[in-house]
Amino acid sequence: MENFDDKYNVSRETFLKLKLYHQSLIEWQNKFNLVSPSSLNQAWNRHFEDSMQLFSLIPPTSKTLLDMGSGAGFPGMVLAIMANEKTPYLKVSLVDSVTKKTLYLKHVKEITQTDAEIINARVESLFKRKFDVITARAVTALNDLLGYAHPLLNSYGTCIFPKGRSWCEEVEKARKEWNFSLNPLSSTTSEEGKILVITELAKKGRK
């Protein structure tokens, strides 16, 4: 854990904020079921590192990022904490329909002094807004993710979706309804998983 800040090239201050976040996750897990209990003992790798690796994939010109179904804040809150140091012009929004989870996200925002927008609502309520980048982790199948993302994504926007061992099947199914450019990247935290970087998203049959 001592080299965590060096590994991801973040400042000591940012590293300490992430440690504070981790501590709060353990404390709040006793009150709310925020993450899988079996993953709590490996939270650095399973949640924090898994989220941090996405930061370098955010296009440097991006001004807005939406994390759909943020849950306990992975990857959205982790990316917001990093963005506050590295790209303060990037506005990060986190949306989740479960009130207790957004209550926790507001707590993390406060204790880490992170500039992030926390939205307690269904993602469909945001369909009048547009974002440069959309992320989601362990929310739903790719085909459904693209359905939620499409109305929210700028025409030049990027989707960044970590996926597990069934990513190939999910891509194959999604291509029946969607056109998109795909760059599947290796994950540093999962041998079987991939990080799907998707651009040029369009519904099939529409110009």
35-53 confidence digits (pLDDT tens): 666 555 666 667 788 899 9
**30 band by pLDDT with thresholds 50, 70 and 90:** confident
Model confidence over 179-201: pLDDT tens digits? 999 999 988 887 788 999 999 99
Q: Residue 160: left if φ>0, alpha if ψ -120 to 50, beta else—which one?
A: beta
**118 band by pLDDT with thresholds 50, 70 and 90:** very high
Q: What is the CATH number of the domain that holds 194?
A: 3.40.50.150
Residue-by-residue DSSP string for 25-69: HHHHHTTS--S-GGGGGGHIIIIIIHHHTTGGGS-TT--EEEEET
Q: How far is CA 48 from CA 55, 79, 92, 170, in A?
A: 12, 10, 17, 24
**12 band by pLDDT with thresholds 50, 70 and 90:** confident
Q: Domain tally for the chain?
A: 1
- pLDDT score, position 204: 85
CB-CB neighbours of 64 under 10 Å: 19
Q: Which domain holds residue 104?
A: 4-203
- Average pLDDT value over all residues in the chain: 88
> Before 151, cis peptide (omega within 30)?
no
- Judged against a pLDDT cut of 80, whether residue 56 lies above it is answered with yes
- pLDDT score, position 27: 84
**1 band by pLDDT with thresholds 50, 70 and 90:** very low
CB-CB neighbours of 153 under 10 Å: 21
CB-CB neighbours of 104 under 10 Å: 25
